[in-house]
Structure 1
């Protein structure tokens, strides 16, 4: 499944970019997914710290036409010294903590006319980097496949001509 996902991404003319150090440098279509992840993790009852974007690991997009883009984004979040629920937090007001592990997130979603679509529902998986296993990475691939990347798999077209 992993090979299939990457073959689909690469065959569709996807560009994977280098890690970017700053949220402000991200293109808007990637910021939307990071914001989705930050809302989820900063609202989670088990989170005690406020989390912020640290850097991108992989970015990919497939333009499907008609102003539709499928997004894959793998990135790190890092806990800060601010408490969960801190409003208008940034790295100057909430310094990163170095005594906590990084949170590795993958988000896959469909953008239409500049907004995240509800169908298919965006896929989001965030876990401590040290907890990542081959099984959890496989689950992420399946989640992204269900979030729309699977619908872009090339299918054979039957030939009925002579």
Structure 2
């Protein structure tokens, strides 16, 4: 009886942890979701990935309004492996529970959005690594890269233009 109770409690905990992470994903704005989806897709297509990965939790977010429908996004988050094999499409949270025996993937991404779409220029920056291998130097380099990324709209602001008479 005690073993049965233990299994039920562990199963409920796994289900709550999985659904909680997906609730966190659901709370993200569309601009952040699009970046996370592309990044997780890249992680899942990596040759070394054996499990299917899903978004786990946000650690840091930054959104700068560039005006005229432009936003600059920085997102630091964790992805976590699930019990589903690589290549699983539309993973069911009850069947694809998160694994606790594998390290998290720590990701930092930055990109430019224009009217809700990720732009190809400047090229989006994605840096993901196993959390156990992440160093403070890597975190600093990641933030510096995003901070110094050339976010030029290619032309001066409308406010900077002169009116010809």
Tell me what 2:49 maps to.
47
Equivalents in 2 of 1:130, 1:53: separation in Å? 17
SS in 2 for 1:24: helix
Question: Which shifted more, 83-92 or 133-142?
Answer: 133-142
SS in 2 for 1:118: coil
What is the Cα-based RMSD across aligned positions, in Å? 2.1
Tell me what 1:129 maps to.
131
Question: Which shifted more, 97-106 or 21-30?
Answer: 21-30
> Runs of 4+ in structure 1 displaced over 6 angstroms?
none
Larger Rg: 2
Equivalents in 2 of 1:73, 1:62: separation in Å? 12
Instruction: After TM superposition, list the pairs within 5 Å mapping 1:16-95 onto structure 2.
Output: 22-95=24-97
SS in 2 for 1:39: helix
Equivalents in 2 of 1:91, 1:123: separation in Å? 29
What does the per-residue CA deviation read over 1:71-117, in whole Å, with 9 as the maximum and x for residues that have no partner? 01001100000111100014223000010111111110000011000
CA contact (8 A) 1:51 1:79 kept: yes
Query: Relative to total residues, which structure has the larger helix share, 1 or 2?
Result: 2
TM-score by length of 1: 0.76
In structure 1, runs of 5+ residues without a counterpart are 1-18, 152-162
Tell me what 1:139 maps to.
141
In structure 2, runs of 5+ residues without a counterpart are 1-20, 153-165
